[in-house]
Chain A
Amino acid sequence: MFSEFILILYSLEAALAPAATDITKNPIYTFKASEDGSIYCLISTDTLIISASNGTISAWKWSDVLSRAGKVLWTITIPKRRPFFTPEVNSIYINSKADMASHLFAGCGDNNIYVYDIETGQEVHCLQGHTDYVHAVTKKNDNECVSASEDGTVRIWDYRTAGESTLVLQPYKHEICGGGPRMSAWYLRSLTMSATFDTPGACQQFIMFNEDTVISAGTEAFVNHWYMNGDCKSRVPCTPTSVFSVAINRESENNRVLCVAGSSATIDVCTNFGYKAFGLSFTMPD
């Protein structure tokens, strides 16, 4: 696992079918996704799978992958600013709208956010300002994007220009008692904190909105579901002791499931978000 750096494709449809067996939960296709370094993030568009690892972003065509021909469509290499330092890509986000040029945001280990034009593969802007590496990047609206960094700040950028960030949030200044910063929700309009989500002893690494709740997970074997006001709705145990990613399949109403991936050889699948239904186990290709 550590030396292979592979992507594995499972069929949720087959695994969720009434006649599902252990065999249908096996990987349907496995391909090598990185020459060097773990894969940190993965997104999917209508046509592409884009993964990012140590210093490189690679893309595959869904159609190629589904026909078991994992040929890299293109690769973007993050420029090296220092010797012996390969900036990792911690988060990528794709802003794909039919009437606009598609932009790819990459939050990197060298404190910068790079904006690439997908069509040309050229760097459009480099958003600089964070003082430590970037954890996550996402879009606010058509013109702005948001990034979170190890330096304890959230910055909102106008990515059309390569200038300083437009706004800076500093959650750590709102600390009430000791310990690390907690997960919190902010009103963007007023830039004030509205609610905090308290998880003692665990650092939340992944957050997402789902309808009227917030789902988060981190360095413990639980997936947390929150109400917007900061009250905990439920804590669902899961297999990985450290959760890296949670995803909900919104494509099909029948197979609307929550998948949890982390430091484990199994991806948990929760059919009703309340408990773990089964695991898609990772078997090493022979």
Chain B
Amino acid sequence: MSSKDVPLDKEKKRKRTLKAESLQNGSGDGKLAETKRIKPEPGLKQESGVSLFYAEEEEVDERDPEKDVEQFKAACANIKHAILDIRQLKENKASQMTDDIERKRVEATLQFIALKKLNRLAHIRCKKVRDSTNEAKLRIDKYHLQLQNLLYEVMHLEKEITKCLEFKSKDEEIELVSLDQFYSKAPAEISKPEVTQHDQHQQTLARLDWELEQRKQLASRLKVSQESKTNVEEDIRIKQEYLENLQPKLNTILQATKPVQEYLGMPFDEIREQHQTAGYLPPPLFVLYKQATAYREACDNLLTVTLDGDLDAARLVDLSVPLLDEDSESDQEEQEKKASKRRRKTVDAKLSDKKHRVLKKHPLSVVIQVGCEDESALQLTFSYLMYLHIVTVTIKVRQSSEMGTSSVSGGDLLSEDTLLDELYPGDHGDTTPNPTNQYQLTRSGLKDFNHYIPQVGQPYRWAQWICGLQYLGEGVPQKPQEIISCGSLQGTIRKIRQRFKARISLLQQLSALERHTVAVAGEYQSLFPVKLQSQVVIWQRSTFEDFVAAPYTRSIVEAGLAKDNDMFFIAVIERGTAKLTARIVVAPDYPNVAPIFSVLVQWQSERCSANDSHIKNLEEELNVHYEELVQEKSCDYLLTNQMQRLIMCFDVYLETGENSAKEGPSEFSREKVFSRTTRGRQRAKPYKYCAELGIFTHR
């Protein structure tokens, strides 16, 4: 190519030259040629004319824009000079002026070619710069995109990292055995201490392994246990079935043994049934039942304890429910009272209904039968008043057949309401022992408790005690306490039996006295002389009013020794013309409280303790020295013995009576042996009988 270029370049040069020559020849053409010629001058003279157009672009790269600017300035300056020169010339109008002007004009025009070229270059350069700018811009965009991608990637990665960091392993939720325990318990092949001591991860893994191992073991044990449980359940089921089958069999056996029990007199069944029934007893009666049964088994086989009443009704009774809704009812009642008379009948009905409820007994009752050696027995029925919280007793006497004695003066001795009067001092069983009852009754519009005793029985204090009840002060019903029952039961039973026996004995004595015989029991015969002259002629019942009315009983009444619940008797003893009237007070608690005698002697004059000291001494013998008339165990015959002593002393009184010689022989012969008839300033009479010698002496 170069070879080819070279000729091209030569040709170009030649052409130009030609052109320049031609231009120089012509006028206008000359100028153009001139610029053409000038233009390559600055360096591009080698370039061929063909590649000139393209070359300019490369030329731009080679040329310095700064120099171009100077060239441009220089060209502009040249043009200016030329113009200025032409002007000068024209003004000077020098000779050669035309030539010079011409020349100068050409020169200036040539400068325009240079300017043109420079302009072109500037354009090219401008285009080139724009291109390069675009190019750079594109590049920048590309880079920017790349940057964006990278940033996104970074963000993603960061997210991933966070995610990873936040990851929780499942094993953290498992509670593992403590480290010490793990190393001590786990076998070495699992714990691998040489590895795991230092590596936390391995350690955890090993612990997890151990956990797994243990859980497997536990699971297997659970399975074993469950299996054994099922086995045991099965066993139980079998045994249960066996037991259930056993009950009917046992019942059959029990049924079969009944005749045997009856035959042998061992009522096991009844006892068992009773014990079951006892479960439904109200607490006080339960205490009583329990204690009485225990007492019977321990030391009193004449006692029988049974239960009576409606068991089904007892099952329905709920003691915890209050029986009355008092306030509302009483209010209602008030209102009803105010209401018209027509409704009175319903009020009455209501009252009786309420009375019924207030005095309601628990359906079950405890029956204690206190037997004596003979057939006779005392049957005590204990009932519990649920609303009033007290225990009442009703008494039934069963006399033995042989004891068919009856007595006119002692007809009420075994009566139900007085038999157990004053078993303990002051306990008449006519008022309620629970102080709250009075208020309860008043509130319910009922009368005093003693009006209802015939219905409900007598609320003796001892009955409360043996049921374990004690009312202290403002009597909130106490819970029955066994200790109270236990402490008083034995004594009370003993007292009851003693009282019962004493009453029966008293009845017999009264019966004998009514027949005017003083039947002294064998063991007491020695206390009296065999022969006594005085005779009982009257024995009869008296009353408290009668007793008080008698003048010679004043000192006894004043001393409070006679009460209206005592029994009073009158005995009349006669010997010849002398008559002795004795008024006798027998306390309910006879013979623990000795009978008291008050004596009136009618012989020549009326004499009593107030006007005759001998009668006072006689009364002393009976009322004070009665202890001599009772032997250790039985004091049952006290009244008879006192009567016998009264007769004896009356004999002594009459036989030692002062007689003056003037009246002739005494009416009463001395049949007794006296050591002395009188003694002391009082002329006391020898009332004391000395059994060993058969003589009478002074006390």
B676 contacts A244, C-beta separation under 8 Å? no
Q: Confirm or deny: B697 has a beta carbon within 8 angstroms of a beta carbon on chain A.
A: yes
Q: Which residues of A contact B620 (CB under 8 A)?
A: 2
Binding stretch for chain B, among A83-91, A119-127, A251-259, A274-282: A83-91
Determine the residue in chain A with the shortest Cβ distance to B615.
A241
B676 contacts A109, C-beta separation under 8 Å? yes
Determine the residue in chain B with the shortest Cβ distance to A220.
B611
Specify which of A85, A241, A244 is in contact with B681 (CB 8 Å cutoff): A244
Determine the residue in chain A with the shortest Cβ distance to B698.
A88
What is the CB-to-nearest-CB distance from A196 to chain B, in angstroms, rounded to a whole number? 17
Specify which of A84, A150, A241 is in contact with B693 (CB 8 Å cutoff): A84
Q: Which residues of A contact B605 (CB under 8 A)?
A: 201
Q: How far does the alpha carbon of A109 sit from the alpha carbon of B678 in the complex, in Å?
A: 10
Specify which of B613, B675, B680, B683 is in contact with A241 (CB 8 Å cutoff): B613
Contact with A along B607-629 (1 / 0, CB 8 A): 00111110010001000110000
Of listed B609, B680, B690, residue having the most chain A CB within 10 A:
B680
What is the CB-to-nearest-CB distance from A199 to chain B, in angstroms, rounded to a whole number? 13
Q: How far does the alpha carbon of A91 sit from the alpha carbon of B682 in the complex, in Å?
A: 12
A242 contacts B613, C-beta separation under 8 Å? yes
Specify which of A109, A180, A221 is in contact with B680 (CB 8 Å cutoff): A109
B679 contacts A109, C-beta separation under 8 Å? yes
A84 contacts B697, C-beta separation under 8 Å? yes
What is the CB-to-nearest-CB distance from A224 to chain B, in angstroms, rounded to a whole number? 16
Main secondary structure of the interface of B (DSSP, over half): loop
B612 contacts A133, C-beta separation under 8 Å? no
Q: Confirm or deny: A269 has a beta carbon within 8 angstroms of a beta carbon on chain B.
A: no
Q: Confirm or deny: A271 has a beta carbon within 8 angstroms of a beta carbon on chain B.
A: no
What is the CB-to-nearest-CB distance from B566 to chain A, in angstroms, rounded to a whole number? 22
Q: Confirm or deny: B660 has a beta carbon within 8 angstroms of a beta carbon on chain A.
A: yes
B610 contacts A221, C-beta separation under 8 Å? yes
A242 contacts B676, C-beta separation under 8 Å? no
A205 contacts B675, C-beta separation under 8 Å? no
- Looking at chain A, what size class is its interface with the partner chain? 20 to 34
Q: Which residues of B contact A133 (CB under 8 A)?
A: 676, 678-679
Determine the residue in chain B with the shortest Cβ distance to A205.
B681
Q: Confirm or deny: A96 has a beta carbon within 8 angstroms of a beta carbon on chain B.
A: no
A90 contacts B616, C-beta separation under 8 Å? no
| Chain A 209-226 residues near chain B, CB threshold 8 A | 219-221
Q: Which residues of B contact A273 (CB under 8 A)?
A: none
A85 contacts B613, C-beta separation under 8 Å? no
A263-B613 in contact given A2-B620, A242-B682 (Cβ < 8 Å): yes
A242-B616 in contact given A2-B625, A180-B658, A220-B611 (Cβ < 8 Å): yes
Q: Confirm or deny: B633 has a beta carbon within 8 angstroms of a beta carbon on chain A.
A: no
B616 contacts A150, C-beta separation under 8 Å? no
Q: Which residues of A contact B697 (CB under 8 A)?
A: 84
Specify which of A88, A109, A205, A241 is in contact with B611 (CB 8 Å cutoff): A241
A84 contacts B613, C-beta separation under 8 Å? no
Q: Confirm or deny: B345 has a beta carbon within 8 angstroms of a beta carbon on chain A.
A: no
Q: Confirm or deny: A136 has a beta carbon within 8 angstroms of a beta carbon on chain B.
A: yes
Q: Which residues of B contact A263 (CB under 8 A)?
A: 613, 616
Q: How far does the alpha carbon of A46 sit from the alpha carbon of B693 in the complex, in Å?
A: 45
Q: Which residues of B contact A206 (CB under 8 A)?
A: 681
Q: Which residues of A contact B658 (CB under 8 A)?
A: 180
Q: Confirm or deny: B356 has a beta carbon within 8 angstroms of a beta carbon on chain A.
A: no
Q: How far does the alpha carbon of A108 sit from the alpha carbon of B680 in the complex, in Å?
A: 9
A241 contacts B616, C-beta separation under 8 Å? yes
Q: Which residues of A contact B693 (CB under 8 A)?
A: 84
Interface on A for B, CB 8 Å cutoff?
2, 40, 84-85, 88, 90-91, 109, 133, 135-136, 150, 178-180, 201, 203, 205-206, 219-221, 241-242, 244, 263
Provide a sorted-by-A list of 24 A–B residue pairs whose CB atoms are within 8 angstroms.
A2-B625, A40-B680, A40-B681, A84-B675, A84-B693, A84-B697, A85-B675, A85-B676, A88-B680, A90-B680, A90-B681, A109-B676, A133-B679, A180-B660, A203-B683, A205-B681, A205-B682, A219-B611, A219-B613, A241-B611, A242-B613, A242-B616, A242-B682, A244-B681
In the A-B complex, the 3 residue pairs with the smallest Cβ-Cβ separation, listed nearest first, are A242-B613, A205-B681, A241-B610
Interface on B for A, CB 8 Å cutoff?
605, 609-613, 616, 620, 624-625, 658, 660, 662, 675-676, 678-683, 690, 693, 695, 697-698
